[in-house]
C-alpha cells in the first residue's frame, strides 16, 4: 500500500465514525473496495465489497457500502470502543491495492470529556458575572423608565397650570378655567346700555362661586350704575343640582 498522511479523528466511547472515500472514475463497480487496519507493519482486512457477508464485521458494528453512481465507498463504525483506536485505511484493488484514504482514530473513555475542577469553577464564575450584568441592565432600564414617567407627568402638570393662568389673565373677565367672556357694547354710549355676556364652556358645580370681572374700559362712560346683570346657562350644569 502507498503511504499517506493519516487524518486524525477523535471519538468518545459509544460514538459513531462515518467515513467516505471517493475513488477515480476509472474504477469499475465490480472492483473490490476494502476497509482495513494497519498493524505490526502490515494490515488486517476488516470488511470489503467482495461478497455480501463480507460487507459487515462479525459483531455488526462495522459496515461498508459502495455507491457506484457517486463513485464513493462509505464506512460506518458504530458503538466505538477504546480498543478500536488505530490507523485505518480504505482502498480499491485492481492488479494491486490503491489506498484512497487513511484515518488515525483515537477513541477515549467518556470521563475524559468531563471538565476539570478549575474549568467548572471558571464556568461558574462566568455564569455569575453574566447574571450580575443582566440584573444591572434591568435595574438601569427600570430607573430610566421611572425617571421618564415622572418627567412626563411634571410636564403635564406645568402645561395645565399654564393654560389656567392664560385663561385667568384675559382682559374680559373669565369666571371659570375653560370659560370665555364676550363683551357686547353699543357703538355709541349715548344710545343705550352696554352688556357683558359670559359663556361658560365647562359647567361649574352649583356649590362653587361664579365671578365676572368688568374692566373700567368696558363700562359705559355715561352710566352711573348697572341696570341689570344676567348669567344664563344654555344647559343645566348637572341634573338634580339646580
Sequence spans of domains, the chain? 7-107
Beta bridge partners of 233: none
pLDDT digits (tens, 9 = 90+) for 5-55: 889 999 999 999 999 999 988 888 889 999 999 888 788 999 999 999 999
Binned at pLDDT 50, 70 and 90, residue 240 comes out as: very low
At 159-185, the pLDDT tens digits run: 766 666 655 555 544 444 444 444 444
Beta bridge partners of 107: 11
**φ, ψ of residue 145 in degrees (nearest 5):** -65, -45
Contacts of residue 49, defined as CB under 8 A and 6 or more positions apart, other chains included, come to 32, 33, 34, 55, 64, 66, 73
Residues 159-183 as b or e (16 or more Cβ within 10 Å = b)? eeeeeeeeeeeeebbbbbeebebeb
Contacts of 221 (CB under 8 A, 6+ apart): 189
Which alpha helices (DSSP H) does the chain contain, by range? 117-168
Query: CA-CA distance, 8 to 11, in Å (whole number)?
Result: 10
* Residue-level pLDDT at 40: 82
Rounded-to-integer distance, Cα 213 and Cα 236, Å: 23
* Whether domain 7-107 has CATH 2.60.40.10: yes
Q: Quick one: average pLDDT of 178-203?
A: 50
Q: Is 90 exposed, middle or buried (0-12, 13-18, 19+ CB in 10 A)?
A: buried
Length of the chain: 242
Neighbours of 237 (CB within 10 A): 14
pLDDT of 55: 94
Amino acid at each position: 500500500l502507498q503511504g499517506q498522511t493519516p487524518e486524525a479523528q477523535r471519538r468518545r466511547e459509544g460514538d459513531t465514525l462515518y467515513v467516505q472515500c471517493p475513488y477515480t472514475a476509472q474504477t469499475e463497480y465490480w472492483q473490490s473496495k476494502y476497509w482495513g487496519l494497519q498493524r505490526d507493519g502490515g494490515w488486517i482486512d476488516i470488511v470489503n465489497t467482495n461478497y455480501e457477508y463480507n460487507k459487515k464485521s462479525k459483531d455488526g458494528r462495522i459496515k461498508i457500502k459502495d455507491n457506484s453512481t457517486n463513485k464513493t465507498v462509505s464506512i460506518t463504525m458504530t458503538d466505538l470502543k477504546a480498543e478500536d483506536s488505530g490507523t485505518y485505511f480504505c482502498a480499491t484493488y485492481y492488479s494491486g491495492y490503491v489506498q484512497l484514504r487513511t484515518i488515525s482514530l483515537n477513541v477515549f473513555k467518556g470521563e475524559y470529556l468531563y471538565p476539570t475542577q478549575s474549568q467548572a469553577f471558571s464556568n461558574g464564575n462566568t455564569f455569575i458575572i453574566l447574571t450580575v450584568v443582566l440584573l444591572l441592565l434591568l435595574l438601569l432600564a427600570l430607573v430610566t423608565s421611572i425617571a421618564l414617567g415622572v418627567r412626563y407627568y411634571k410636564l403635564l402638570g406645568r402645561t395645565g397650570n399654564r393654560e389656567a393662568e392664560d385663561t385667568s389673565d384675559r382682559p374680559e373677565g373669565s369666571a371659570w378655567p375653560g370659560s370665555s367672556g364676550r363683551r357686547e357694547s353699543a357703538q355709541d354710549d349715548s344710545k343705550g346700555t352696554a352688556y357683558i355676556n359670559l359663556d361658560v364652556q365647562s359647567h361649574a358645580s352649583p356649590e362653587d362661586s361664579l365671578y365676572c370681572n368688568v374692566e373700567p374700559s368696558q363700562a359705559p362712560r355715561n352710566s352711573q350704575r348697572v341696570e341689570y346683570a344676567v348669567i344664563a346657562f344654555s344647559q343645566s350644569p348637572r341634573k338634580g343640582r339646580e
